[in-house]
Amino acid sequence: MIVPLPPVQLPARLADLAAEYADGRREPAVPRDAATVVVLRPGADGEPEVYLLRRQTSMAFAGGMCVFPGGGVDPRDYDHTVAWAGPSPAEWAAQLGTTEDVARALVCAAVRETFEESGVLLAGTSADSVVADTTGDDWEADRVALESRELAMTDFLDRRGLVLRTDLLGIWSGWLTPVFEPKRYRTWFFVAQLPEGQVTRDVSSESSEVVWIGAAAAADAADAGELAMLPPTYLTCLEVGTHATPAEVIAASGGRTVAMFTPEVEPLGDGHALSMPDGLRPLVAARRA
């Protein structure tokens, strides 16, 4: 189901469907925990560029949409023995608003999904190193095995003598899919800068194409109808694009904690639209002025 970007008016059928959930006539789907990562690099003028994948149109959720690398938490992401460097699971739990077990799984899923969908690996041989190149055939074999779930993240790291560099991640926001969607995700949005020496690759089996684009330019393209995005992706690009550099984005993530936001139906003129976090309303209003 495609949801228009804010504050575009919702089709009447979606507003009516949302009303059925609101008054108890329908039971919402149980959401699945997920993690997504806004991978950043400096553009020609230093501005933050983001890595976007266009999902296959055949995908059951967000088919054809441009998204950041990410996906659902795998049960094996909860493994307590995963090699870990950086803030502890307890520290992450405080930022993410979860238990330590869930925080560990979300961080592991964020790193795993980023590698699976872009070839970028936030890991190193020690707490102060990071892998410089993941383009070899052996890396690709491991990536495919992770993607197919033939290989667990813990075993992958152990085999290569690597630790998760959780300090390379920052937290940005949290979004819960609206109640009227048949597939729902409770998604934590992370940010990370592309490690020096690494390159992104068009490797995900779930995407039809990939692109590096300025965050602000991505929001402009969505406004122009040139890129299809769900509201959380659009609003994240819009907000990230207010920063001058990727380093500023990472710095801004430092003091953040997640308050999970669920878009709801709200009045818009003679119809309805999806709500958005109050802090982002001025950014959207400025573009619509």
Helix (H) or strand (E) holding 272, with range, is strand 271-274
CA distance 19 to 13: 10
Q: What is the pTM of this model?
A: 0.92
Asked if 186 and 260 count as a contact pair (C-beta separation under 8 A), the reply is: yes
Q: Residue 26 has which token pair?
A: 């329908």
Asked if 155 and 83 count as a contact pair (C-beta separation under 8 A), the reply is: no
CA distance 220 to 108: 32
Helix 215-223 to helix 231-240 angle, to the nearest 10 degrees?
Answer: 140
The per-residue pLDDT for range 62-113, each reduced to its tens digit, is 457 889 999 999 999 999 999 999 999 999 999 999 999 999 999 999 999 9
Share of the chain above pLDDT 70, in %: 92
CA distance 260 to 97: 9
Cis peptide before 42 (omega within 30 of 0): no
Asked if 164 and 122 count as a contact pair (C-beta separation under 8 A), the reply is: yes
pLDDT tens across the length of the chain (289 residues): 344 556 667 888 888 888 898 888 999 999 999 999 999 999 999 999 999 998 655 444 445 788 999 999 999 999 999 999 999 999 999 999 999 999 999 999 999 999 999 999 999 999 999 999 999 999 999 999 999 999 999 999 999 999 999 999 999 999 999 999 889 999 999 999 999 999 998 765 555 578 899 999 999 999 888 888 889 999 999 999 999 999 999 999 998 999 999 999 888 888 888 899 999 999 998 887 6
CA distance 162 to 195: 15
